[in-house]
Amino acid sequence: MCALIQGRPKADYNCAQKDFYTVAKMGWTSYAEQLPDFMNFSTLYQPGTGTTQLAAIELAKAMPDEWTRMGEVKSLRIELVPLAEACIIVWSNMSSYIREGFASDQYDVKREIAGYNYYRDAVGQDWDSVSELIDKGLVFANANTLALTAGGMPPTFIANMTATRDAFELKHIEFMDAEEQSKLLTDAKIEANNLLNADLVAMFEDAKKIFRTNAAIRDEFTFDVILELVNGGGGTAPVVTKLSGMIADSVTLAPIVGATIVAVDENGSLLAVSGVGGYYSIPYNAMVNPLSVVITVSHPMYDDSVRTILLSPGELRTEDFGLVPRPPAPPIP
């Protein structure tokens, strides 16, 4: 039975993206050098085929990379934080009017009606909870204006609360749109790379037939052989595999020193601690087969971040983490 909903695309090539581009360029350069043999093998191979493929590689490389795609998202998140805090503050102020405007035995239930159940998650920067908190608070304020006014609510409070809500929601929508656009651009780049890979693999398969009696030339069209050269293998030297990146505060983007990074795979676990600039590095020696690695990053002042990746031999993998600060216990309004 086929799936009714198609998942997001995954890379068909088993190496780092930058290495894939280098392998592809080397492959099509070798194609140009052996063009007569390819044209004798199939009429589908023409003088312009290699040039077209090399141009397509450059176009794919020019598509926005992860840092470019996530830059706008991170920038919008920075702008979103104070707007969310303003919503929490204005709601907290309203809870004071609830306390003064209703009988004491009504305070808890009225506060829950006004959205208090979303307060803690909103303080923890759950944006949907912020939306629910301010929306329910505004509905409650409009429905109980007389009681809240008797409890000390200023005449301009509801208008100010509405403006605060609108400013947050506008930026929240912009933030979510940027996140979705980032995913679309990521998928588009992967799909473009996969098309390049399909053409490259097909050409390499034909090259194995064309040069079946010439091992030296055949190696020029063998993905793993080229990849080893790209990674400095030189034929017999070990292939270097490394996991590295930067740990930063997800709000301020400041680097975090002293975060613990634990990478667990089927062979055991490796540990590192982020140093100056928040950077960490975990080398994988004598790695032969791809590994599913579960990375856990922790720090006493931040929530843990967990991510699972597939690490390939010879890959120089960059995995950055933005840790969410642990909020102090919210005060009782």
pLDDT value of position 235: 43
Dihedral sign computed on CA atoms, order 318, 278, 324, 77: negative
Band (237; pLDDT cuts 50, 70, 90): very low
pLDDT of residue 240: 63
Q: Provide the pLDDT for residue 4.
A: 53
pLDDT tens per residue, range 7-50: 777 888 888 888 888 889 888 988 888 888 999 999 999 878 88
Residue 148 has pLDDT above 90, yes or no: yes
Kindly give, in sequence order, each residue whose CB lies less than 8 Å from that of residue 85, ignoring residues fewer than 6 positions away: none
Residue ranges of domains in the chain, CATH in brackets: 15-235 (no CATH), 238-325 (2.60.40.1120)
SS3 of 80-135: the string is HHHHHHHHHHHHHHHHHHHHHHCCHHHHHHHHHHCCHHHHHHHHCCCHHHHHHHHH
Q: pLDDT class for 107, splitting at 50, 70, 90?
A: very high
**In the predicted structure, residue 287 carries a pLDDT above the cut 80:** no
Q: What percent of the chain has pLDDT over 70?
A: 91
- Conformation bin of residue 268: beta by default, left when phi > 0, alpha when psi is -120 to 50: left
Model confidence band, residue 309 (pLDDT cutoffs 50, 70, 90): very high
Q: Mean pLDDT lowest for which of 85-99, 111-125, 172-186?
A: 172-186
Which range among 66-75, 259-268, 312-321 has the greatest average pLDDT?
Answer: 259-268
Q: Which residue has the tokens 């098309």?
A: 195
Distance CA 324, CA 125 (A): 9
Most confident of 29-33, 46-50, 156-160, 210-214: 156-160
Identify the band that residue 71 occupies on the pLDDT scale cut at 50, 70 and 90.
Answer: confident
Strand partners, 294: 264, 308
Looking at every residue in the chain, the average pLDDT score rounds to 86
pLDDT confidence band for 234 (50 / 70 / 90): very low
Q: Check pLDDT > 60 for residue 193.
A: yes
pLDDT for 1 equals: 42
186: which strand partners? none
Note whether 244 and 281 are within 8 A (CB).
yes
Residue 269 pLDDT class (50, 70, 90 cuts): confident
Per cent of the chain over pLDDT 90 is 46
Token readout for 320 is 């950055």
Q: Kindly indicate the confidence band of residue 129, based on its pLDDT and cuts at 50, 70 and 90.
A: very high
Q: What is the pLDDT of residue 178?
A: 82
* Residue 220 pLDDT class (50, 70, 90 cuts): confident
- Cβ atoms of residues 131 and 172 within 8 Å: yes
pLDDT of residue 195: 94
Question: What tokens were used for 265?
Answer: 């795979």
- Ranking 54-58, 283-287, 312-316 by mean pLDDT, the lowest is 283-287
Q: Following CA atoms 41, 44, 48, 54 in sequence, which dihedral angle do they give, to the nearest 10 degrees?
A: -90
CA pair distance 31, 25, nearest whole angstrom: 10
Q: Which of 38-52, 80-94, 304-318 has the highest mean pLDDT?
A: 80-94
